[in-house]
């Protein structure tokens, strides 16, 4: 079983002119329980998670489905906008003639 530890730390190693010492979320990965036990309890706000492998094909399908759903919504929104613009312009045209 693999584990993930999250905790709040501070930045270090100034990068791109950023000062050290700003809070940031840190992560630590453990391949086994023995390594986790050695590091357990060293941070007051640490949280632990199980890491489980997932089927990449299923994940790919779910992501593709979600992206398609978002695309369809965007197309529908665009169609509605265009139709409302057409109606608005037709109304303006009626008033001009």
What pLDDT is stored for residue 57 in this prediction? 92
pTM of the model: 0.51
For residues 2 and 49, the answer to whether their CB atoms sit within 8 Å is no
What pLDDT is stored for residue 88 in this prediction? 95
H/E element, 10: strand 2-10
Over the stretch 8-64, which tens digit does the pLDDT of each residue have? 887 776 666 666 667 888 888 988 888 888 888 888 888 888 888 888 899 999 999
Q: Quick one: how far is CA 93 from the chain centroid? A: 46
- Rounded to 5, what percent of the chain is helix, strand, coil? 50, 25, 30
């Amino acid at each position: 079983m693999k584990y993930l530890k999250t905790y709040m730390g501070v930045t270090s190693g100034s990068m791109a002119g950023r000062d050290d010492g700003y809070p940031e979320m840190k992560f630590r990965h453990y391949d086994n329980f023995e390594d986790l036990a050695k590091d357990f309890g060293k941070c007051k706000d640490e949280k632990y998670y199980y890491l489980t492998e997932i089927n990449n094909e299923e994940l790919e399908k779910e992501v593709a489905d979600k992206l398609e759903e978002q695309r369809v919504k965007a197309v529908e929104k665009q169609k509605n906008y265009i139709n409302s613009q057409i109606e608005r312009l037709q109304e303006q045209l009626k008033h001009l003639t």
